[in-house]
Amino acid sequence: MAVTSLLRSAWLALLLCACAAAPTGGASSPSLGAYTWDLASVVDARGQAETGWQLPGRPAPKLSFQDDRVNVLNLCNVIGAGYATDNGAIKLGQAVATRRACAEPGLMALEQRIGARLPQVRRYEIRSTPGAAPTLVLQFEDGGRWELAGTPTPATRFGGPGERVFMEVAPMEVACPSGGGSCLSVRDIRFDDQGLRTSIGEWRVFQDQIEGFTHVPGTRNVLRMYRYASGGRNYYVLDLVVESEQVR
């Protein structure tokens, strides 16, 4: 049995609790947290387009503003920092990142570039056009600018906040009780604030879908998800793969 640990224990605890102090001096904007923001264009201080902020074949870096914290996604590691806003001004706290080694050429360099750039942001603006997705504009202290395209978060789509849950997915699927297909076999897991397991439930058949997760036969995963209740049913959205293990 070969185990690949995606997060070291200290960083696992950080991501499990998803907590960090935000800078003082203002409340976060609900509009920022209502969307995730994909980097669409970068302009330098002279107004010239900059390249190199997205690697070929990879999705654009994505910003997620939740609970007075901004995370940069779609990289190898997750970069995060507390933030605060005040009448169009925005200030980021000290950034931290997970410490996974990235084998893909250029990816770690891009992470370092983004991690160094984001603390220089000074102002933000959300531009909205009826019938179109909003655009987030970030202004940096040297006059440079990022423009990011907004996508509604699950909480926005489902009309309310979700409940954070952890679930272990067994390596192999099982027959669905209703027949006519395969279902995941899962069990619920609870963690404390230090990232230590406090309880593990019984295995059960899972007949719902998990948005953002694709099961690979022979792989055991521990997932952090958000569960949303809407229209009399539950919807699950993947937030983080906490553990991944290839079972031979």
Give the model's pLDDT for residue 120: 95
- Of 33, 73, 83, the C-alpha closest to 239 is 73
- The ranges assigned to domains in the chain are 35-152, 158-246
Contact 126, 32 (CB under 8 A): yes
Q: Tell me which residues of the chain have a pLDDT lower than 50.
A: 1-30
Provide CB contacts within 8 A for 176, sequence distance 6+: 182, 183, 205, 207
Which pLDDT value is given to residue 22? 36
> What is the architecture of the domain spanning 35-152?
Beta Barrel (2.40)
Q: Would you state the pLDDT for residue 14?
A: 44
Distance CA 71, CA 69 (A): 7
Q: Would you say the pTM of this structure is higher than 0.85?
A: no
Q: Would strands 89-92 and 62-66 be described as parallel, antiparallel, or unpaired?
A: unpaired
Note whether 117 and 142 are within 8 A (CB): no
Mean pLDDT of the chain, nearest integer = 86
Q: What was the pLDDT predicted at 211?
A: 95
Instruction: Provide the pLDDT for residue 57.
Output: 87
Q: What angle do CA 86, 91, 97 make, to 5 degrees?
A: 145
Q: Tell me, what's the pLDDT at 92? A: 93
The pLDDT of residue 16 is: 47
* pLDDT (tens digit per residue) in 127-177: 988 888 899 999 999 999 999 999 999 999 998 889 999 999 999 999 999
Output the six-digit token pair for 68.
């007075």
Q: Are 189 and 166 in contact (CB under 8 A)?
A: yes
What is the pLDDT, as a whole number, of residue 20?
36
**Paired strand residues for 38:** 62, 149
CA 91 – CA 70 distance, rounded (Å):
11
Token digits for 82?
Answer: 């507390």
Phi, psi of 124 (to 5 degrees): -140, 155
Q: In sequence order, which ranges of 99-245 are alpha helices (DSSP H)?
A: 107-117, 154-158
